[in-house]
Amino acid sequence: MYEQQSHSLLNAILNQIEPEFSKHDLRYFYTRLGANFYAIHSLFERLYGKRPDFAEQAQRLVETLARQYIDRSEELRAKDIEREQDYNWFLSQKWVGMALYCNGFAKNLQGMREHLHYFQDLGINLVHVMPIMKCPEGKSDGGYAVSNFREIDPRAGDLNDLRGLAGDLRQRDMLLVMDVVLNHTSDQHEWAQKARDGYSPYRDYFYTFENRHVPDMFEQSMPEVFPETAPGNFTWNKEMQRWVMTVFNEYQWDLNYSNPTVFIEMLDIILFWANQGADIVRLDAVAFLWKKIGSTCQNEREAHLILQLMKDCCQVTAPGVLFIAEAIVAPVEVTKYFGEDAVIAKECEIAYNATFMALLWDAVATKNARLLNQGIKSLPVKLERATWLNYIRCHDDIGLGFDDKDIELAGYEPRDHRRFLIDYFTGQYADSHARGVPFGQNDKTGDARISGSLASLVGLQYAVDIGDEQAIDDAIRIIVLLHSLILSFGGLPLLYYGDEIGTTNDESYRDDPVKMDDSRWVHRPFIDWKKAEQRNVPGTVEYLIFSQLKTLIAVHKELDAFADFNNRDLVEVDNPHLFVFERYHLQKPADRVLVIANFDKKPQRLDLDQLPRWSQSYQGHLVDAITGKSPEKFGNTVVIPLFGCYWLTET
């Protein structure tokens, strides 16, 4: 389509736009709409152009953008302009996040407002509040089965509480991250209820079939997400007398994005939450948005087009808002969710670095960095104006989706190595102190994933239970080591609530009929605030972890080389226990940091002669930025303590 044609179409739409819009100052809106409309219309036409109601749907799309712009507060509009002028603002090293369940952290939103000092004490300035939209009390999938996309779950509070929290965070220069579940709704959602009642427009919001012919075609190529608890991808609905696509759980109905009404509804919901104060929106399950017979129904080209269209539309109404892609897929696929532009993220500015997370856990189990080094070499380079979200634990399980070729190049047999990791982290391996729980076991393939808190997986739970001081010290060292790497690797570091005070597994889920079949609840804790106060008592486990992480975060924010501009070089060394990389400042070549991590339970050495840039004139002038002290050295050899990490700088 020529640019002139898109302008002509835009003029036709604006000539029919609702008269009420003319009462408002829409200058910025029209400027952004004009700049983005060619891309918006091209994508919308590619997805929905063959439909007879295309012009009507395009009109609805523009009016939706205008209506949400009008509803956006002056304060948030001003923030949009500020971020447009500093478009790399989120690549700064100043941002450090924490993900949490509202009810587990502080019971409700009001409780969170009362604990903001806790984040500030640690140095957290990005808070990811996991799903708080209304959902059924029983079958909620931890909040990811939404029954009303525009209401807060009453157990968390209401919209006024959320807006109050968002305002408090802005006053403290802190960011709010919220979830929007894109792929599915609860079967209790109004749309699903109306579909069951026979309203044909709403039946087209979902994938429903009167017999098994089409579902069986899909099943030939679609994998099972939860084979243990939710086998298959379709559920028979007695009321409707139809099969419904339910990829995740039988009570989560997949949305039909081949229907433009669904797209506009979900875009409207994203913008609604942006207007409540969300700085970043985490888009859940984005890999599953487009369904196609004969495929896995994951990572389809149309799913990327949907995300591009959502981003272009958001640029018109709320350009200061970022997207996180929740796509836990192979490395070669995950970078596509940034978009395929050479520089700018055309889909989502942020993506989960699940590969790095899983590789870190491999290094913990093996006590070496062979697969970690190999896997990082295979990690595709991100776009310049996009960033990774680096994490150790989250609300979900740990998957072992390493590339088989990388496993072989690291010297392991893929199937045996995955079996070892499962055994290690579930405490079945002889030398393991881990107390993880298997999740999603597939009896057909023997595969499984791993649940468990950080403290329990690294052996802290075991060590405290038996009173082994050396084992406690080792576990704390590993916790600090892992955090030092997500803070230095490049991207947005995201801590998981409870990890900062060594919270161990919560076994109470086994007594809850709703939760007992989902082992992920073992690492979704309720914070014991009396225990959390121990972070201020020297010598306690809580103090030792919290104080060291607090130092790491503070130092991280001061090192300009840790901003994320593709300014990281992996350094290959002879010692297999070490993971080494260099961070550097693009404009100041002398401003650089050498990160050396030792995954072994014994001290290891690194000969700086292997690193020409660091070996020549700096003997005696290297300083560990974390401690402010010189590293242990003998001649030109640096000694790295057991489970230790250096951030070396030059003085």
**What are the backbone angles phi and psi of residue 247, rounded to the nearest 5°?**
-65, -40
pLDDT in tens, 551-563: 999 999 999 999 9
The confidence score (pLDDT) of residue 8 equals: 77
pLDDT in tens, 446-460: 789 999 999 999 999
Chain mean position to CA 535: 27
Catalytic status, residue 326: yes
Listed residue (396, 390, 319) closest to 357, CA to CA: 390
SS3 for 275-330, per residue?
A: HCCCCEEEEECHHHCCCCCCCCCCCCHHHHHHHHHHHHHHHHHCCCCEEEECCCCC
Question: Active site residue: 161, 187, 326, 518, which one?
Answer: 326
pLDDT in tens, 111-126: 999 999 999 999 999 9
Q: Which residue has the tokens 């690492």?
A: 523
DSSP code, position 32: H
Q: Which residue has the tokens 């941002």?
A: 95
In this prediction, residues 265-272 reach a mean pLDDT of: 98
What's the rounded Cα separation, in Å, for the pair 535 and 288? Answer: 41
Is residue 264 exposed (0-12), middle (13-18) or buried (19+ Cβ within 10 Å)?
Answer: buried
What's the rounded Cα separation, in Å, for the pair 144 and 284? Answer: 8
SS3 for 616-651, per residue?
A: CCCCCCEEECCCCECCEEECCEEEECCCCEEEEEEC
At CA 152, angle to CA 105 and CA 164, rounded to 5?
70
DSSP code, position 567: -
64: enclosing H helix or E strand: helix 54-71
In this prediction, residues 175-193 reach a mean pLDDT of: 98
Q: Select the more confidently predicted residue: 445 or 458.
A: 458
What one-character-per-residue DSSP string does 94-120 give? T--EEEE-HHHHHSSHHHHHHTHHHHH
Share of the chain above pLDDT 90, in %: 88
Count of other CB atoms within 10 angstroms of residue 18? 10
- Of the pLDDT bands very low, low, confident and very high (cuts 50, 70, 90), residue 616 is low
In this prediction, residues 616-638 reach a mean pLDDT of: 85
- Of the pLDDT bands very low, low, confident and very high (cuts 50, 70, 90), residue 193 is very high
Question: Active site residue: 179, 284, 347, 582, which one?
Answer: 284
Share of the chain above pLDDT 70, in %: 98
Tokens, residue 403 = 């590339």
The confidence score (pLDDT) of residue 613 equals: 82
What's the rounded Cα separation, in Å, for the pair 142 and 285? Answer: 14
State the pTM of this model: 0.96
Mean pLDDT of the chain: 95
Chain mean position to CA 109: 21
Q: Which residue has the tokens 């939209």?
A: 133
What's the rounded Cα separation, in Å, for the pair 351 and 546? Answer: 27
- Of the pLDDT bands very low, low, confident and very high (cuts 50, 70, 90), residue 619 is low
248 in Cβ contact with 285 (< 8 Å) = yes
The confidence score (pLDDT) of residue 620 equals: 53
Which pairing describes strands 387-391 and 492-496: parallel, antiparallel, or unpaired? parallel
What's the rounded Cα separation, in Å, for the pair 292 and 218? Answer: 8
The confidence score (pLDDT) of residue 2 equals: 53
Statement: residue 286 has pLDDT above 70: yes
403 in Cβ contact with 358 (< 8 Å) = no
Tokens, residue 358 = 């899983």
DSSP code, position 226: B
Listed residue (429, 483, 414, 413) closest to 455, CA to CA: 483
Q: Select the more confidently predicted residue: 136 or 619.
A: 136
Q: What share of the chain is helix, strand, coil (3-state, %, to 5)?
A: 45, 15, 40
Most distant pair of Cα atoms in the chain: their distance: 80
Statement: residue 1 has pLDDT above 70: no
Q: Select the more confidently predicted residue: 615 or 1.
A: 615
Statement: residue 618 has pLDDT above 80: no
Based on its alpha-carbon atoms, the radius of gyration of the chain, rounded to whole angstroms, reads: 25
pLDDT in tens, 51-62: 999 999 999 999
Statement: residue 64 has pLDDT above 50: yes
- Residues 6+ away with beta carbon under 8 Å from 325: 283, 286, 307, 334, 337, 338, 347, 348, 350, 351, 352
